[in-house]
Structure 1
Amino acid sequence: MSWLYLGIAVIFEITVAIAAGKAAGFTNLRWTIATLVSGGIATYFLSLALLTFDVGVGYAIWTSVAGVGIVLLGALLFHQRLDWRKALGIAVVVGGVVGLQLSGVA
């Protein structure tokens, strides 16, 4: 169940990043509310996942998987450039997450 909680936390963390970008420095009320509510939900589900995961490992997985998701969605939805350096960075992050998983977490 902790992996499900972590997955939900990742989805809402990605939502935070997208909403924060649209909030225009918290001047757009709707996107500001979306940012804050998504952040609260992401943190709540992360806290549930951390009942099982080591804090450092769970947090590292949460931030890295969300970061990769944000980069990929930025390329797909907002036509941001995804070059070989970003792809290499994503591969390194994925390798790190796999390494954390192989370390015997949850």
Structure 2
Amino acid sequence: MHWLYLAVAVVFEITVAIAAGNAKGFTRPWWTAATLVSGGIATYFLSLALLTFDVGVGYAIWTSIASVGIVVLGVLLFGQRLGWRKLLGIAIVIGGVVGLRISGAA
């Protein structure tokens, strides 16, 4: 169940990044509200996941997977470029998450 909580937290963390980017410095009320609500939901589900995960490991997995998701959505939805350096960074992040997982982290 902790992996499900972590997955929900990741989805809402990605939502935070997209909403914050569209909030334009919190000058757009609906995007600002979406940022704050999504952040609260993401933090709540992360806290549930951290009942099982070690804090450092759970947080690292959460931020890493969300970061990769944000980069991928930036490419797919916003036409951002995905060069070899970004791909290398994504591969390193995924390798780190896999390393944490096989180290016995939850």
TM-score (norm 2): 0.99
Letter in 1 for 2:58: G
Matches within 5 A, 1:70-89: 70-89=70-89
TM-score (norm 1): 0.99
Residue in 1 that maps onto 2:67:
67
Percent pairwise identity: 79
CA distance in 2, matches of 1:38, 1:80: 23
Gaps of 5+ in 1: none
- 1:38-88 deviation digits (Å, cap 9, x = unpaired): 000000000000000000000000000000000000000000010000000
CA distance in 2, matches of 1:33, 1:98: 34
Kindly state the Cα deviation for residue 105 of structure 1 after the two structures are TM-superposed: 1.3
Q: Which runs of 4+ in 1 moved over 4 A?
A: none
Gaps of 5+ in 2: none
Letter in 2 for 1:57: V
